Amino acid sequence: MAEVAYVKASRIFSGNPPVRAVDELSLDVTDGEFLVLVGPSGSGKSTALRMLAGLEDIDEGAIHIGGKDVTNVPPKGRDIAMVFQSYALYPHMTVAENMGFALKLRGVNKADIKQKVLEAAKMLDLEKYLERKPKALSGGQRQRVAMGRAIVREPSVFLMDEPLSNLDAKLRVETRANIAALQARLGTTTIYVTHDQVEAMTMGHRVAVLKDGLLQQCDTPRALYDKPANAFVAGFMGSPAMNLKTVPLTSEGAKLDGIVVPLERKALDKAAGEGLSEVTFGIRPESLALVSSSEQGMDMTVELVEELGADALMHGSVRIGDVPERFVVRVDGRTPPTLGQTVKVAVRDAGEVHLFHPESGYRLTD
């Protein structure tokens, strides 16, 4: 077990212009932590992971594992085990042989290998399959073998790069819970890459959000959701996404159709200090609510209703200035509005409004 640190670590690929795939990344992962790296395609997640594994050069800065500077240590000397998206099992070996192979290479004796493989197989519910070849396994079972292969090595750090992306939706949900439980039981520091923000939120103790090689924010799932540091994180974390719109400011708040949403004094002062007459206004679908026609609210024309069972998502247009803007509202699943209907929508609680700088995107609200 070990703590891991990126110290202003960069990976720069040559080209014209050069690509700063990972740009001065600084991140401390504590011993036993499950840290998720998340971000859109091309944001540098795999590169960051490969830098930790020693599969990518560190062009600037350093990498520490277990308090030691391993920047120039080859992969073998780093005491890590990596699980990839493609499990890369050896087709001619049985499950047991696949799982024990790294130990065999290390010269561990047969009885010990057998015992370690059996232990891991028990944890992963693979005992029945130990003598099978990979081709006789389902996708989920193969994924577990790949996990088992990493576990038997008893590394101080697990690195996982989208290990669930080859599984169907149901199996993904099951397996992500199993991986999280297994990690908690083993207590091994784990860095887990995904582009799926639901996976990130449900699995990570903390989640680091990357965009264009730059770390945007690293915090607990709850903190990322409640206090995104900028408009990018706000729009990326959460499904359906936060409504983010550019709206004019008044001295009291943000002006939407027919209403002024009152805003905290501090945020208004900050915006005024920056000379802003407009801000990026963010409100999550569950922070908007249908209200009766006599109450204050924005008129919304319902354009789409997605029924999810317990609740429904209502999509519709609200006017901001003269422009119709799309908003999504989470409503009760039993009595959703109908298409084409005009409804009244209000902000549940002004405290749930997020404000961001319209250009730089940084957070203005507390």
Ligand X SMILES: Nc1ncnc2c1ncn2[C@@H]1O[C@H](COP(=O)(O)OP(=O)(O)OP(=O)(O)O)[C@@H](O)[C@H]1O
Binding site for ligand X (CB under 6 A): 13, 19, 21, 39, 41-47, 195
The dihedral formed by the CA atoms of 165, 167, 173 and 179, expressed in degrees to the nearest 10: -70
Cβ nearer to ligand X, comparing 10 with 43: 43
- Footprint of Mg ion on this chain (CB under 5 A)? 46
User: What's the CA gap between 153 and 155, in Å, rounded?
Assistant: 5
Which option in ligand X, Mg ion, none does residue 19 bind, with CB closer than 5 to 8 A by kind?
Answer: ligand X
Which option in Mg ion, ligand X, none does residue 280 bind, with CB closer than 5 to 8 A by kind?
Answer: none
- The CB-of-45 to Mg ion minimum distance in angstroms stands at 5
Contact 178, 161 (CB under 8 A): no
Cβ nearer to ligand X, comparing 10 with 47: 47
Which option in Mg ion, ligand X, none does residue 41 bind, with CB closer than 5 to 8 A by kind?
Answer: ligand X
Cβ nearer to ligand X, comparing 166 with 246: 166
- The CB-of-329 to ligand X minimum distance in angstroms stands at 30
What is the 8-class DSSP label of residue 230?
Answer: B
Residues in the chain: 366
Contact 355, 233 (CB under 8 A): no
Cβ nearer to ligand X, comparing 32 with 75: 75
Beta bridge partners of 60: 10
- The CB-of-189 to ligand X minimum distance in angstroms stands at 20
Cβ nearer to Mg ion, comparing 46 with 188: 46
Which option in Mg ion, ligand X, none does residue 43 bind, with CB closer than 5 to 8 A by kind?
Answer: ligand X
- The CB-of-85 to ligand X minimum distance in angstroms stands at 8
Tokens representing residue 319 in the block: 């006017």
User: What's the CA gap between 228 and 222, in Å, rounded?
Assistant: 10
User: What's the CA gap between 151 and 121, in Å, rounded?
Assistant: 10
- The CB-of-22 to ligand X minimum distance in angstroms stands at 7
Cβ nearer to Mg ion, comparing 46 with 197: 46
Cβ nearer to ligand X, comparing 46 with 365: 46
User: What's the CA gap between 140 and 164, in Å, rounded?
Assistant: 9
Alpha carbon of residue 325 to chain centroid: 27
- The CB-of-80 to ligand X minimum distance in angstroms stands at 17
Secondary structure of residue 107 in the 3-state scheme: coil
Which option in Mg ion, ligand X, none does residue 195 bind, with CB closer than 5 to 8 A by kind?
Answer: ligand X
Sign of the Cα torsion 300, 301, 305, 309 reads positive
- The CB-of-13 to ligand X minimum distance in angstroms stands at 3
- The CB-of-196 to Mg ion minimum distance in angstroms stands at 12
Cβ nearer to ligand X, comparing 12 with 350: 12
DSSP string, 142-205: HHHHHHHHHHHT--SEEEEESTTTTS-HHHHHHHHHHHHHHHHHHT-EEEEEES-HHHHHHH-S
Which option in ligand X, Mg ion, none does residue 98 bind, with CB closer than 5 to 8 A by kind?
Answer: none
Which option in Mg ion, ligand X, none does residue 348 bind, with CB closer than 5 to 8 A by kind?
Answer: none
* Burial (Cβ within 10 Å: 0-12, 13-18, ≥19) of residue 132: middle
Which option in ligand X, Mg ion, none does residue 13 bind, with CB closer than 5 to 8 A by kind?
Answer: ligand X
